[in-house]
C-alpha cells in the first residue's frame, strides 16, 4: 500500500485512471494530495471533486523545472500529507535532485513513447514525424535525466500512416490508462526492485 502524491500540469486523465483503478479495487493506493504548477489545471479540480487536497505550486522564476522554494514547498506539502511515493501525471517540468532525494526510488513518471525512443516533449508528434510504425508508453522511475530512468513497464501501440499526432496521442493515452495503474500496483505491492538500470518484478 502506498500513499501517493500526484504532480500534474494539465487535465489529469492519468489521475482519473488511477482513481478508476482504485475504485475497481485493482490498485491498493491512496492518493493523499495533488499538486500542480498550473493554477487552472483541471487535474486540481479532478482531485477536489474527489475530496483529495489539491495545491497550486507557483514555480516562478523557473519556467521548465521544479526547483528552489517551489520544490521545498512541494516536498513539505507531500510530507505533510504522508506521501511516500510520487506519480508524475503530465507534469511539464523537470524534477530536480531535491525531490528525488526526498523520495528515493519512489518517483515515477509515464511517458507517451517506448523509451529510449522519442524522449522529451510531444513524443506522439515525434513518432508520427519519424514514421514509426509502433510506439507506445513507458512507466519509469524518475532519475536526474530527461526520461532516462529505470523502466517499470511498457506497452506498445500501433502507428498507422494515416495517423495525425492527435489520433496517435489518443491511442497511446488509452494504453497509459491501464499501464500506469498496473505499474503503481506493482510498486504498491513492493514487487519492484531496481538493479542497476533494470527493474526486476517479483
145 contributes a contact to its own copies by CB under 8 A = no
Strands (E), 37-184: 54-56, 65-66, 85-88, 94-95, 107-111, 134-141, 151-158
186 belongs to the binding site for its own copies (CB under 8 A): no
User: Does residue 168 bind its own copies (CB under 8 A)?
Assistant: no
Instruction: Please state, in angstroms and rounded to a whole number, the distance separating the CA atoms of residues 187 and 169.
Output: 26
110 forms part of the interface with its own copies (CB under 8 A): no
Query: From the list 82, 97, 120, 156, which residue makes contact with its own copies (rule: CB under 8 A)?
Result: 156
Task: Give how far the C-alpha of residue 130 lies from the chain's centroid of Cα atoms, to the nearest Å.
Answer: 24
32 vs 100, beta carbon nearer its own copies: 100
Nearer to its own copies, 19 or 118 (CB): 118
- Whether 123 contacts 111, CB under 8 Å: yes
Does position 178 interact with its own copies (CB under 8 A)? The reply is no
Is 111 catalytic? The answer is yes
Binding footprint of its own copies on the chain (CB under 8 A): 114-118, 128-134, 136, 138, 150-156, 161, 196-201
Amino acid at each position: 500500500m502506498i500513499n501517493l502524491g500526484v504532480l500534474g500540469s494539465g487535465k489529469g486523465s492519468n489521475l482519473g485512471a488511477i482513481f478508476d483503478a482504485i475504485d475497481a479495487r485493482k490498485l491498493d493506493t491512496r492518493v493523499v494530495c495533488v499538486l500542480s504548477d498550473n493554477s487552472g489545471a483541471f487535474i486540481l479540480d479532478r482531485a477536489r471533486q474527489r475530496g483529495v487536497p489539491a495545491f497550486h505550486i507557483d514555480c516562478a522564476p523557473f519556467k521548465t523545472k521544479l526547483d528552489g522554494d517551489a520544490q521545498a514547498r512541494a516536498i513539505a506539502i507531500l510530507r505533510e500529507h504522508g506521501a511516500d511515493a510520487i506519480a508524475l501525471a503530465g507534469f511539464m517540468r523537470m524534477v530536480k535532485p531535491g525531490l528525488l532525494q526526498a523520495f528515493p526510488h519512489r518517483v515515477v513518471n509515464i511517458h507517451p513513447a517506448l523509451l529510449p525512443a522519442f524522449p522529451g516533449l510531444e513524443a506522439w508528434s515525434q513518432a508520427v514525424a519519424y514514421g514509426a510504425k509502433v510506439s507506445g508508453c513507458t512507466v519509469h522511475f524518475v532519475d536526474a535525466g530527461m526520461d532516462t530512468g529505470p523502466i517499470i513497464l511498457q506497452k506498445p501501440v500501433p502507428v498507422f500512416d494515416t495517423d495525425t499526432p492527435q489520433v496517435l496521442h489518443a491511442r497511446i493515452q488509452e494504453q497509459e490508462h491501464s499501464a500506469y495503474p498496473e505499474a503503481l500496483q506493482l510498486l504498491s505491492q513492493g514487487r519492484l526492485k531496481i538493479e542497476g538500470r533494470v527493474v526486476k518484478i517479483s
